[in-house]
Chain A
Amino acid sequence: MLSFAEIKKSFLVSLWFMFLTFPIMVVRVNTIYKKVEWRWENMLLVGLGSFCLSFVWRYFMGRKESGRKNHQAAETEGRPSLKQRIMNDRRIYIPVLAAVSVFAAAYPFIFSLYQTNIMINALIYIMLGLGINIVVGLAGLLDLGYVAFYAVGAYSYALLNHHFGLNFWLALPVGALLGTIFGILLGYPVLRLRGDYLAIVTLGFGEIIRLVLENWNAFSFGPSGIANIPRPGLFGIKMSLGQSSIFIYFLMIALVIFTIFVVNRLKDSRIGRAWIALREDEVACQAMGIDRTKTKLTAFALGATWAGMAGVMFAAKTTFINPASFTIWESINILCIVVLGGMGSILGVIFGALALILLPEYLRAFSEYRMLLFGFILVTMMVFRPGGIISEPRRTYQFKGVEKQ
């Protein structure tokens, strides 16, 4: 197994990384006290870490290579994957679904208010993840400014409430509608752009919205944000903080179920198939008579609708918003959910959101390393498992042969 050549290779890799990280990891200059701090222990760590990682890396590389061949073989045989078999077997998925719904219903009563709030957060991210999944996962348009629509939703509730006293229930559809409108406004000019240009333009658009919110004090109250946004009410019943959190929790559950339902239906609809076709090959898709403009615009608009709605929920939940919540890193955070879970896969997105939002909450000690880890996840997922953890099976049709009579 561990041949000499392998060890030598890893040793060279670790030497290279020790050299590479030397100035940044080892030396730290303190310009105020005129002192240089030498942290040699870091060099040792980098060396050891990269030595081990290079073995893991090559092991997975090898598996990926051989896996590709096996996968092709499996595909030609038409064997369903493990996930498909579970999903298709009623005896398994009905009890699982029942258990999950019982757990979800009991959650706020079992756990503390703090836990409930974290879960609400995770649910908002599930919604955002499912929304961006339409744009990135299904239609294959990399949108790095998704958070702009989230901001549109949040600010539309906050501002309409501040100026006109609009209540939450009216703001929810208004926020969604404004999200849609902004989605079309952004989608229209970028229709002609290909993947990488699109990414940069959407990133630019997201930053424009944030910078405008930050600088246009008369409109958005600038960096200090808007406070005292009312929480959602229910027929004027007075609720304590805890009760209202539980109410928001169930509201979010309902919205997430609604989202899952709609996205699932959309995915199998005519437009959903058009999105997937567009993702796979734009030219071939047009040649098949699919209207590219309409298809892309609906993807943008529908993706943005969910962000708008999630934004209203976010404003209602935190009761305070400012532009700092809507930076580009938030977009990348949401993107990371989809990439980790599996692009195009609903179950994957849910899993990704729960993993990426809940884990950092419970691993506070590592919170500094969160973004570092996200970067690492994005790269390694793309290299080793581009389909995500729970990848969506490709829709395949098979010619079973003509029946003999």
Chain B
Amino acid sequence: MLWDFDYFVELFLAGLTRGSIYALIALGYTMVYGIIQLINFAHGEIYMIGAFTALIATGVLTLMGWNTVAILFIAAGLAVLYSSAYGYTLEKVAYKPLRKAPRLSALISAIGMSLFLQNYVLLAQTSDFLPYPALIPEFKWLEPWEHVVRSSQIVIFATTAIVMVLLTLLIKFTRIGKAMRATAQDKEMAMLVGVDVNRVISVTFIVGSATAAIGGVLIASHIGQINFYIGFIAGIKAFVAAVLGGIGSIPGAVLGSLVLGWTESFFTGYISSDYEDVFAFLFLVFILIFRPSGILGRSETEKV
């Protein structure tokens, strides 16, 4: 077989697209885990709700005859607003009362919440796949490369990069970012020096949900259809990515997502697409066995 360069580039870019979306979701996992050591199982559902909100907003605004670019921004804005609100409420209802309970309880509560949100959307909306309008316009200057890269992919890369930079700035240089880092290091000590830990946790959930919502809007308009179930598998994959990079570490989440995106893309492109999900799960099992702290994570010893 001839080495087909265009095919390789296509797979590379497809992997990058996937990786970017995983990264946007994985950030929420990693930030929440860093602060309260809980896997927010319902995080994928927040992403799905973001995508649904954007779909609904788009539907209504299109019928009112607005122009596409305005719709894109309003729909994305609403998605971010609602996802953040859901993330905030989720934490208040399902996790906050369990802050002092064993971790198993919080985890079961998270699974329950995921199940609840999925079925809530299923019952209130529909179980069918809904067509998602292509909100991102085709760029003129991209025409020569049209067969390998779509304009929606370019938008995804750019948005992901911008979100990463903004998030890094938020955590490194703002007051709340400092409070987040302090809480992640030692919750009780942070409380002693006057950090409002409850507020920090809420903000973490809000920021994580907002990035997930951006991911939801982007991937939905790239792939072109959504249903109530998209959050679950995307959530699991993003979790794999977060663990791969080293859970709790933000650059790790991005790196892990890109690695997972590429490996998945090349695996399906060159080997087999039937076992795509099997491969992702096997990947997770191997990481956890051989390097449980991930690529960039530090291994921690358990303190008594």
Binding site for B on A (CB under 8 A): 16-17, 19-21, 23-25, 27-29, 31, 34-36, 42, 61, 136, 140, 142, 144, 189-190, 192-193, 195-197, 199-201, 203-205, 207-208, 211-212, 215, 283-284, 329, 332, 335, 339, 368-369, 371-372, 374-379, 382-383, 386
Q: Are A61 and B120 neighbours in the complex by a CB distance under 8 Å?
A: no
Among candidates B52, B78, B112, B281, residue contacting A382 with C-beta atoms closer than 8 Å: B112
Q: Are B292 and A197 neighbours in the complex by a CB distance under 8 Å?
A: yes
Q: List 12 A-B contacts (CB under 8 A).
A: A29-B63, A36-B63, A142-B108, A192-B289, A196-B103, A196-B107, A201-B288, A204-B285, A212-B275, A283-B302, A376-B116, A378-B115
Q: Are A372 and B120 neighbours in the complex by a CB distance under 8 Å?
A: yes
Q: Are B278 and A212 neighbours in the complex by a CB distance under 8 Å?
A: yes
Among candidates A16, A29, A35, A208, residue contacting B281 with C-beta atoms closer than 8 Å: A208
Shortest Cβ gap from B95 to chain A (Å): 10
- Is B282's beta carbon under 8 Å from chain A? yes
Q: A371 vs B109: C-alpha distance in the bound complex, in angstroms?
A: 14
Q: Are B56 and A27 neighbours in the complex by a CB distance under 8 Å?
A: yes
Q: Knowing A24-B124, A368-B123 touch, does A195 contact B302 (C-beta < 8 A)?
A: no
Q: Are A378 and B109 neighbours in the complex by a CB distance under 8 Å?
A: yes
Q: Are B108 and A20 neighbours in the complex by a CB distance under 8 Å?
A: no
Q: Are A27 and B97 neighbours in the complex by a CB distance under 8 Å?
A: no
Q: Are A20 and B86 neighbours in the complex by a CB distance under 8 Å?
A: yes
Residues of A within 8 A of B89 (CB): 16-17, 20
Q: A25 vs B268: C-alpha distance in the bound complex, in angstroms?
A: 38
| Closest A-B pairs by Cβ, 8 of them | A378-B112, A29-B59, A375-B116, A375-B115, A204-B281, A372-B119, A382-B109, A379-B112
Residues of B within 8 A of A190 (CB): 285, 288-289
Chain B: interface size category: 35 or more
Shortest Cβ gap from A204 to chain B (Å): 3
Q: Which of B267-304 contact A (CB under 8 A)?
A: 274-275, 277-278, 281-282, 284-285, 288-289, 292, 302, 304
Q: Are B103 and A19 neighbours in the complex by a CB distance under 8 Å?
A: no
Q: Are B292 and A193 neighbours in the complex by a CB distance under 8 Å?
A: yes
Q: Are B288 and A374 neighbours in the complex by a CB distance under 8 Å?
A: no
- Is B137's beta carbon under 8 Å from chain A? no
Q: Are A199 and B236 neighbours in the complex by a CB distance under 8 Å?
A: no
Q: Which of B203-251 contact A (CB under 8 A)?
A: 236, 239-240, 243
Shortest Cβ gap from A338 to chain B (Å): 10
Q: A195 vs B33: C-alpha distance in the bound complex, in angstroms?
A: 13
Shortest Cβ gap from A346 to chain B (Å): 19
Q: A75 vs B82: C-alpha distance in the bound complex, in angstroms?
A: 45
A23-B78, A382-B98 are known; give 5 further A-B pairs, CB within 8 A: A372-B115, A379-B116, A382-B106, A382-B108, A383-B98
Q: A285 vs B215: C-alpha distance in the bound complex, in angstroms?
A: 43
Q: Knowing A200-B236, A371-B119, A382-B98 touch, does A29 contact B55 (C-beta < 8 A)?
A: yes
Q: Are A386 and B123 neighbours in the complex by a CB distance under 8 Å?
A: no
Q: Are A369 and B123 neighbours in the complex by a CB distance under 8 Å?
A: yes
Among candidates A369, A374, A379, residue contacting B109 with C-beta atoms closer than 8 Å: A379
Residues of B within 8 A of A332 (CB): 111, 115
Residues of B within 8 A of A379 (CB): 93-94, 109, 112-113, 116
Residues of B within 8 A of A61 (CB): 97
- Is B125's beta carbon under 8 Å from chain A? yes
Q: A315 vs B232: C-alpha distance in the bound complex, in angstroms?
A: 29
Q: A25 vs B285: C-alpha distance in the bound complex, in angstroms?
A: 39
Q: Are B125 and A378 neighbours in the complex by a CB distance under 8 Å?
A: no
Count of A-B contacts judged by CB separation below 8 Å: 164
Q: A216 vs B93: C-alpha distance in the bound complex, in angstroms?
A: 42
Q: Are B281 and A205 neighbours in the complex by a CB distance under 8 Å?
A: yes
Q: A368 vs B124: C-alpha distance in the bound complex, in angstroms?
A: 11
Q: Which of B40-55 contact A (CB under 8 A)?
A: 49, 52-53, 55
Shortest Cβ gap from B240 to chain A (Å): 8
Q: Are B274 and A215 neighbours in the complex by a CB distance under 8 Å?
A: yes
Q: Are A29 and B56 neighbours in the complex by a CB distance under 8 Å?
A: yes
Q: Are B59 and A31 neighbours in the complex by a CB distance under 8 Å?
A: yes
Shortest Cβ gap from A372 to chain B (Å): 4
Among candidates A205, A215, A377, residue contacting B112 with C-beta atoms closer than 8 Å: A377
Residues of A within 8 A of B239 (CB): 200
Residues of A within 8 A of B111 (CB): 144, 332, 335, 378
Q: Are A189 and B289 neighbours in the complex by a CB distance under 8 Å?
A: yes
- Is B21's beta carbon under 8 Å from chain A? no
- Is B183's beta carbon under 8 Å from chain A? no
Q: Knowing A29-B55, A386-B101 touch, does A199 contact B82 (C-beta < 8 A)?
A: no
Q: A325 vs B183: C-alpha distance in the bound complex, in angstroms?
A: 43
- Is B30's beta carbon under 8 Å from chain A? no
Shortest Cβ gap from A146 to chain B (Å): 13
Q: Which of B72-125 contact A (CB under 8 A)?
A: 78, 82, 85-86, 89, 93-94, 97-98, 101-109, 111-121, 123-125
Q: Are A197 and B275 neighbours in the complex by a CB distance under 8 Å?
A: no
Residues of A within 8 A of B240 (CB): 200
Shortest Cβ gap from B226 to chain A (Å): 12
Residues of A within 8 A of B190 (CB): none
Q: A295 vs B236: C-alpha distance in the bound complex, in angstroms?
A: 29
Q: A190 vs B121: C-alpha distance in the bound complex, in angstroms?
A: 34
Among candidates B105, B121, B130, B304, residue contacting A31 with C-beta atoms closer than 8 Å: B130
Q: Knowing A372-B120, A374-B115, A375-B113 touch, does A31 contact B131 (C-beta < 8 A)?
A: yes
Residues of A within 8 A of B11 (CB): none
- Is B189's beta carbon under 8 Å from chain A? no
Q: Are A375 and B114 neighbours in the complex by a CB distance under 8 Å?
A: yes
